[in-house]
Every structure is written in C-alpha cells, then in structure tokens.
Chain A
Amino acid sequence: MNSEELIRRLAASAKPVRRLPHPMWRAMMWFMLSLAYAAGLVSVIGLRGDFSVRIAEPRFLIELSAAILTSMMAAAAAFCSTCPGRPLWERLAPFPFLLVWLASLGEGCWRDWTLHGYQGLAIQQEFSCFWKIVATSAAPLVLILVMVRRGAPIAPYLTTGLATLAAASLVAAGMLLFHQQESSVMVLVWQFGSVLVLSGLAALFGRHVLYWRTVDKRSLENQTTPHC
C-alpha cells in the first residue's frame, strides 16, 4: 500500500477522538485518588507511636513534604512525558524535591553520627521494608500506568520510571507516618533506597509497559479503526 492510499484509508476510517486532558489535571486526578488510598492505609495501620513528637520536628516535616512533592511532581512529569512536543525540562520536575528528600535524610544521618558516632549509622537488614513498599505501591502504580498508557509512548523507559517513582514515593511518605525507623540511615537505605531501586527496575520494563499500538490494516479497510 502506498502512503497516499494509507492516508485515504486513515482519513476515511477516522472517528472523533476525546482529547487527552492536560497532564497537570491528570496528575492531580491520580494524586488525589492515590492520596486517599495512602490515607486509608495509614488509618487502617495506625500512626507510629512517636508521631506526636516527630511531627513537631522541622526535619521530619521537610522529609515528609519532600516525599509527597516528589510523588506529585513525578506523576506530573510522567504524564507530561506522554504528550509529544512538551518541553523536556518538565520531565526533570521531581528531581529537585528528590534531592531535598535526600538532603533531609543526609542531615539526619549527620546528626545521628554526631550524637552516637558510628553506632548511629549502623544498618540492620530490613528487607520487609522493601516488600512493604512494593506491596503497598502496587495499587497507585497500576492506576498511574493505566492512565499514562492513554498517552503517546515517546519515552517509555522514563515514563515508567517516573510513574513508579510517583507511586513509590507516595507510599514511602505514608510509611513515614506509620512505620517507625530507628535512624535516618535506615530510612535512607530501606525506604529512599527502595523507592530508587523500584523506579530503576520498573524503568527497565518501560518498553513492555508502554508501546505503540498497531493499527490493524483490516480494520482500516472496514473503516473501523480503533484509537486509544
């Protein structure tokens, strides 16, 4: 089939399409739903024992806010990355907040070290933390992946990585509210580290998650071409 014939068939079979809402609006939709899920999770499990003490600490507030903002911005960046022609800087939006989150944890590690020496930087094995993040982030992750699949898969690895970062960091923020960690280094390794590892692993499967839909030539002939 030559290109002119293809154009004729595509035009003949084209149906009106519902435009994709603005990426920020879609990100907000996802974030509100996932926030409700995270809030439900926290209410079911219950707040950590020392919550009233920790919430008064500026560092804890910064850590919590940075995790939530990372999630929000990663979601926005993931949705932006499925819209062709949008500026590339939008995809970097979550990283300043990720750095703030890392810096707040780094400051915590420094403080623990000055107070307790090497004892304050002791790392215990707590793989359950990783699996808890995997299990609890599954629902928001599936939701965001379903939503980003409506877009164009122009950067599948990045989009999948950002989507996972959004889901995992929201759950990590939730964990700060119900899961008590002894030291900042434990939070750094088992929560922040899990978020990064999960995002990186998910990004590797980007092409399997987000791919170009093929147009069935037979459906073109029958004038019933589906669209996303």
Chain B
Amino acid sequence: MEHFLLEKNRLNEFLSALRNYEVFAPVRKVGLTVFELITNPKEAMLDLKNQPQSPKRVIFPQSEILLVFDKNNAAKEPKGRVGQKPQVVFGVRPCDARGFHMLDPVFEREYPDPYYLQKRQSTLLVGFHCSEPYPNCFCTSVGGNPSSPEGLDILLTDLGEQYFLEVITSKGEQVAKEGAAVLSSPTSQQQTEKEKLSGMAPQKIRRTIDTEGIASKIEKHFDHSLWRELSGKCISCGICTYTCPTCHCFDIQDERVRGRANRLRIWDSCMFPEYTLHASGHNPRPTRTERLKNRMYHKFKQNIDLYGVPGCVGCGRCITLCPENVDLVANLKVIKNL
C-alpha cells in the first residue's frame, strides 16, 4: 500500500480533516493516558506511556446497554446505537491492535455479535510504531512486534520531525484520502530510516519467553501443587483482566433504576469468585488457585486450541499494574520448566 509523510506540526490539521469520523485519541487525565472521544485535535496526547487501558473499550465498552424497558413499554434498543458515525482510534500501540485480532474470532465465529461487529467494522485503527517499549513488554514472545502493522489500518512511525505514514488497508486508504491535503511523499532516505527503526524495535524488548510447549505443559500439569504457590500472592482483583487487551468475558444483567430497567452487557472477570458461582451455591473455581490457573490456561492453551494463537499480545499491563506483582512471564517460565 501507499506511503506518505506527515509533518508533525500538521497533525492537528490532519485530525481536523477527519470530520466524517468520531475521533478517539489518548488524552492525558491526572497522570494517566486514556482513550476518549475528542472534539478538538489539540486534546490528543500522543505519548503512549502510562496507558492503563487498551483502546478495547472503544469497541467493546465496559458496560453497554442492549435494551431498555419499563412497566408500560416493551423492550427496545437504546437511542444512538444504530447509525453511528464511523470511528477512528488514533494512537494505538501495535500490541493493542493485535488484541482486536484476538477478539474478532470470539465475536464473529459461532454466534456473530452485532454489537461488537458493527462497531468493529466502522472503526479504523491508526497505530504508532512503538519505539520505546516498556519494562514489562514481551510482545515478541507471543508473535507480535513493536512495529507490526497487524490489525492496524494506518501505521505511523516517528521520524523526529515527521511521521512516516503507511496505509495498510483499504479503510486506511479512505482516511489518507480525506487528509491528503497535509500529506506528502517520503524520500527514499526517509523510507530507509523507517525500515531501520522497524528493524531496531524488537531488540528493545527486554522480557522474553519461549512459549513453545507451554500449552502442553499447562495441560499436563493441570493438577500440580505449584499452581497454589503461583497464586499465593494474588488478591483476586480484576486488574489483570480489566486492563487486558484480549480479555473478553462478559455478563448480561437486567438492572432496575427508578422504575426503568436496562438489559446490559458488562465486563466480567474470571478472577472474581462470583464469575463461576452456580445458583446452587457450588463454585467450581472456589479459590484463587483455580482462578489464576484458569486465566493462564485460557490464554495459553484453550485459545490456541480454538483460534490457533495465544490469547495474549504481550503488552505487559497485567504485570505492571498487578498490585501484588503476580508476574505472568515469570509464572510461564515456572510452568515451562516443570
């Protein structure tokens, strides 16, 4: 596909040109970077640091109302969901973009999910080449790459004064057309510079693990006493699952507020005891051990069986944000060495 050059100081103009889209971009809020709908391009904060959340929530929100009803009115879809404007998510890290690749089969295979798919199809992902990986990044160990265009529609690479803009898909081409006024053609020197940066990126990833054979080890040692050791410090909170770009478990609940009721879909977390609690009171995963084991089993065994890839993009959030330092990479190494 085509290559362009975007002067950094014209980025705002480029974003403004996308008036047919709702633009989501990282915004700085009290020390955090969060993806939010922006109305003014100046709000965008293109520093990818400290993103406790992936842009997963733009397409798969934490809580989403599916139906509204009350005692006088039959259930109907909430206003505003149908006929949305197409969306652009700006400033996506390549690992997070791969995350959507792992969510897609879940929501489109056996039971196509209209809520997810509609938004997914109308959303375009503009990624940033990840030139400074974070201490706990391990994307290269799970098939990713800090400069990977996989899952993205457009990939930007920071060349200092300019962004090198690669169009990856036809959806991306459309956006490039809308912003064509501020784009120029790169020189061959800039092309080489970009390729050099892409080549250097993987070497900057400092945490690695060879995942070969882990799936069978997890299966084989499913009842090993070591799981208990690994889960000893876990406090059963939902941080790892709620910040994960590939976790997708949800619950459907009917909620009543002031005489109205909503049927909604909300994220659930396999780390909560409630997650597997049966109506009878029996809980097949009663302790932290079973729950932590389940999460690793799902990501590194079951997901491979179902979709051929591990359910992990190596973004390192669950390691960085875990309050008690449950370290996924270290745990995988323990399992591998069993």
A and B physically associate = no
